[in-house]
Structure 1
């Protein structure tokens, strides 16, 4: 298994094992409803865009698109989840703390519940924030990477489990 796939799997388990509710799945991944892969990916990118706006400092986002992953224990042809991993690079390294603080303050005002906040277990002791949005059936993990060159926020947005409309199959990308 590639390092990227392992990271995505780990983050998916971490994020959706939190507090998102109204699940009918055995692994506590919420049902996100019915959608095509492309429409669900567009919704997930829209969530990322709103997160970018909440950062509130000047900077640039990496140019990465969403991906589709199967739902644990579900038919991979009819059920899927969307993830969107991206990074935010502040215009000034000194803005990294402000960006994280803005997210911590603003996320709850926009329907997010912060379920974890504090230093991670890495050698760098990066500050990490995990939040769920039950209404949108998405979670996000944000890691502040001060010691990276350049410093950045690493964000992973993950959806709940979708089912494709009857007669369609999941488009994997």
Structure 2
């Protein structure tokens, strides 16, 4: 990330690590609901990272990468259509939609929610076995409350 990108990461206010993780998990749950098809999510929880160009002792971001596997393999495309629609409502704005350079030319979506200071990226792995969606929710930069410590994970 270059210096110009740092200013694009919104400040999310002050929060404890637990509160920030909970906020990101709530957005991940919303994205799960947005898929609109039955399936299961991987169990990995959110992690903590430093905010590029900011004091690592005071500022942090929360990231939550997870995988969604529809119960029916053919539902990957349906889930992406639902996500394209839902990620343009309720404060969400679909910022980018493109096919990546992989041999499968996977469809990618990127959306931001300025009010929640969150971003989500979704990759459709429709040709994988089993077909799935790779999803990552990332927060803006939080400031840790005075007296608390950031443990990057």
Shorter-chain TM-score bucket reads over 0.9
Question: Deviation per CA, 1:111-153, whole angstroms, max 9, x where unpaired?
Answer: 1111101211222100000000000000000000012111000
Task: Write the distance in 2 (CA, Å) between the matches of 1:116 and 1:172.
Answer: 29
Q: Which residue of 2 aligns with 1:39?
A: 19
Match status 1:58 vs 2:38: yes
Q: Which residue of 1 aligns with 2:55?
A: 75
Query: How much does 1:158 deviate?
Result: 0.3
Q: Which residue of 1 aligns with 2:140?
A: 160
Within a 5 Å distance, the mapping from 1:24-173 to structure 2 comes to 26-173=6-153
TM-score (norm 1): 0.83
Task: Write the distance in 2 (CA, Å) between the matches of 1:37 and 1:71.
Answer: 14
Task: Write the distance in 1 (CA, Å) between the matches of 2:39 and 2:126.
Answer: 15
Higher helix share: 1
Higher strand share: 2
Does the CA-based 8 Å contact 1:37-1:172 persist in structure 2?
no
Q: Which runs of 5+ in 2 are unaligned?
A: none
TM-score (norm 2): 0.94
Q: For the aligned residues, what is the CA RMSD?
A: 1.2
> What SS does the aligned partner of 2:22 have?
helix
Q: How many residues align?
A: 150
